[in-house]
């Protein structure tokens, strides 16, 4: 939940801080005292940068392992086979109207926008052929 809320909360807090300061003429008072607006914004930018690094570390290193552990716990609770392939259907339509049943699907090495049919299925066999009329 933190990884979803943190970026928007940082953005909103920056806007609200400068908005309230502008509404009550605190920015004008700071500028009149000789302090630069950049000097005023540096602490806010540093805190936002630190929170962004925290969100990056959380999202890229902690969340995947936490999700994997949650799936393992869920498998134990439901008494499922651990490490089983979670697929929608073990049946795939192939070329020539053939229907294949596969036992083990190996996804493509780069899961970011894989091309259709990029993975390989091991142990597949044709179980039904439509044939030609």
pLDDT digit string (tens) for 106-121? Answer: 666 655 555 555 666 6
Q: Are residues 102 and 66 in the same domain?
A: no
Q: Are residues 69 and 98 in the same domain?
A: no
The pLDDT of residue 48 is above 60? yes
What pLDDT was estimated at residue 2? 72
Q: Would you list the DSSP string of 65-81?
A: HHHHHHHHHHHHHHTPP
Residue at 99 is within a domain: yes
Among residues 110, 116, 60, the alpha carbon closest in space to that of 92 is found at 116
Q: Are residues 101 and 37 in the same domain?
A: no
pLDDT digit string (tens) for 51-105? Answer: 888 888 888 888 888 888 888 888 788 776 555 555 555 666 777 777 776 666 6
Q: Are residues 24 and 62 in the same domain?
A: yes
Q: Are residues 8 and 67 in the same domain?
A: yes
Q: Are residues 10 and 71 in the same domain?
A: yes
Residue at 62 is within a domain: yes
Helix (H, G, I), strand (E, B), or coil: what is residue 107?
Answer: coil
Instruction: Provide the domain limits for residue 53.
Output: 2-78
For the chain, what is the domain count? 2
Q: Are residues 10 and 69 in the same domain?
A: yes
């Amino acid at each position: 939940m933190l990884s979803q809320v943190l970026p928007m909360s940082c953005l909103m807090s920056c806007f609200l801080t400068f908005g309230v300061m502008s509404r009550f003429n605190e920015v004008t008072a700071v500028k009149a005292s000789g302090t630069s607006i950049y000097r005023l914004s540096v602490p806010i930018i540093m805190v936002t940068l630190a929170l962004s690094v925290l969100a990056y570390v959380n999202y890229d290193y902690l969340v995947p392992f936490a999700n994997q552990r949650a799936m393992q716990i869920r498998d134990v609770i439901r008494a499922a086979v651990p490490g089983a392939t979670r697929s929608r259907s073990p049946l795939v339509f192939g070329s020539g109207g053939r229907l294949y049943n596969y036992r083990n699907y190996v996804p493509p090495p780069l899961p970011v926008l894989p091309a259709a049919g990029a993975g390989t299925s091991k142990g597949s066999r044709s179980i039904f052929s439509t044939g030609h009329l």
